[in-house]
Amino acid sequence: MPAAIATACALYRLSPDEALVASTVVPKALVVPHAGYPYSGDTAGAAYALLRRAPRGSIRRVVLLGSAHRVRFNGIALPSVESFATPLGPV
């Protein structure tokens, strides 16, 4: 049994069959840290890797929430762009 399946069985009290099914489900939401590659890169990479299971073109909306890192302000900043340029293409 792969280590990830064994861990899921222990942590979430799943049978091996339940854990295997859970490991193939595409998540509806992700909460991912962004403290920088040295600090949270492995965790973020593992989280985003779960999206590989989604059929190409099936993700229609991405909502990114984050804090303001440079200037403090009240309210929210809501960009009016259709996508953001990333190293992996537009998101």
The confidence score (pLDDT) of residue 83 equals: 87
The confidence score (pLDDT) of residue 78 equals: 87
- 20, pLDDT greater than 70: no
Distance from C-alpha of 68 to C-alpha of 5, rounded to nearest angstrom: 37
Ramachandran region, residue 75 (left: φ > 0; alpha: ψ -120 to 50; beta: rest): left
Give bridge partners of residue 82 from the DSSP assignment. Answer: none
Number of other residues whose CB lies within 10 A of the CB of residue 19: 21
- 76, pLDDT greater than 70: yes
| Continuous segment of H or E residues that includes residue 51 | none
Tell me if residue 78 falls in helix, strand or coil.
Answer: coil
Q: What is the pLDDT of residues 43-69, one digit of tens each?
A: 888 888 888 888 888 888 888 888 887
The confidence score (pLDDT) of residue 44 equals: 84
